[in-house]
Homo-oligomer: A and B are copies of this chain.
Amino acid sequence: MDERKAAILRAVVETYVETAQPIGSGHVARHPDVAVSPATVRNEMVALEHEGYLYQPHTSAGRVPTDKGYRFFVDSLAPSGGLGSVERQQVGQFFESAHGALERMLHDTSRLLAALTDYAAVVVGPAPETSMLRSVQMVGLSPRHVLVVVVLSNGAIERTTLEFDDDLGDDVLASATAHLSAALVGQPFAQLGQVGPSGDSSIDALCRVARDAVAQLCGDESDAVFVGGTARVAQAFDAVDTVRNVLVTLEQQYVVVGLLRDVLDRGVNVSIGAEHGVEPLAECSVVVAPYEVDGELAGTIGVLGPTRMHYQQAMAAVAVVSRQLGQALTER
């Protein structure tokens, strides 16, 4: 792939991203980075099509980039200049005034990212696996129902309800809470130790049940996914059933989380079209980035749009927001 072909490919991608129309040789030749005649462009385009970078919807139509074409374009992108000043200010302002509970903040972050890029945005919360227990408390909801509230070091709050056959007194609950606290606080959420004996068998029983319930909480991470800006999917595609497919898929949070994880595992931060295996999202690209809290990899954010996406802007936005989000979460 010589430089001229690359320039032509870039021109096609850029123009197609803008116009959504197949691009003919004439348009490309008019592009400032391409200083050759339409005929030459045509010749090169034939080669590019043969090599799988372009695709012709039908004879006598212009060309459209294939997934491979976008891939080349993205890989050859300069490390990016970052966001425009308006957007940068928007991000700054957001994280200045970011407040409230972790979930709220993640939720709002997904909206921010959607607003910045004009695509749907996903924010996956800090994995509970790496957190420590900061606090455990049992609260009686009714004589036989106990709510166990756990505060994690990442700021998340998990909870679960226990049900018992016998009534529990407030004093038992209080002592059990103290005992449980002493045993578990400071331990990693992912591998809680056992709770030692306290001398009171009913407290021990209560603590054991509570410990197991808390340990179980670590597994389900499904609360920690926030998808924002889904309405923008409807703007990105004009085939109404593509919209439907994508929206349905976005509602299945485990698919989304898995998708982001897979992309990151593959060591890239852009996945284009069919590269990720999720069939209903074959017409979508995903731009992802992890974020770090306290220097530890904590969660992931991402943007999902059509393959014909404004990659440069999306990548810049995702990069900036992930950095800032990590920073904001580190500070709390």
**Contacts from A to B (Cβ < 8 Å):** 99-101, 103-104, 134-135, 137, 139-142, 145, 147, 149, 151, 153, 155, 157, 159-161, 223, 228-231, 233-235, 238, 240-241, 243-244, 247-248, 250-251, 332
Q: Mind listing 15 A-B residue pairs with CB under 8 Å?
A: A101-B160, A101-B161, A134-B141, A137-B137, A139-B151, A141-B332, A149-B149, A230-B247, A231-B244, A231-B247, A234-B243, A234-B247, A235-B244, A240-B240, A243-B243
- Contact A157-B157, Cβ < 8 Å, known A139-B135, A149-B149: yes
* SS class, residues of chain A in contact with chain B: mixed
With A231-B250, A234-B241, A235-B244 given, can you name 11 additional A-B contacts, CB distance below 8 Å? A100-B160, A134-B139, A135-B149, A137-B137, A141-B155, A142-B332, A149-B157, A157-B157, A157-B159, A231-B244, A234-B247
Cβ–Cβ contact B139 & A147, under 8 A: no
A140 to B134 alpha-carbon distance, docked (Å): 8
Q: A91 to nearest B CB, angstroms?
A: 20
Cβ–Cβ contact A244 & B248, under 8 A: no
Contacts of A134 in B (CB 8 A): 139-141, 147
Cβ–Cβ contact A229 & B251, under 8 A: yes
A28 to B160 alpha-carbon distance, docked (Å): 56
Q: Which residue of B lies closest to A107 (CB)?
A: B223
Counting chain B CB atoms within 10 Å of each CB, the highest count among A228, A234, A243 belongs to A234
Cβ–Cβ contact A147 & B137, under 8 A: no
Contacts of A228 in B (CB 8 A): 251
Q: Which residue of B lies closest to A160 (CB)?
A: B100
Q: A89 to nearest B CB, angstroms?
A: 23
Contacts of A233 in B (CB 8 A): 247
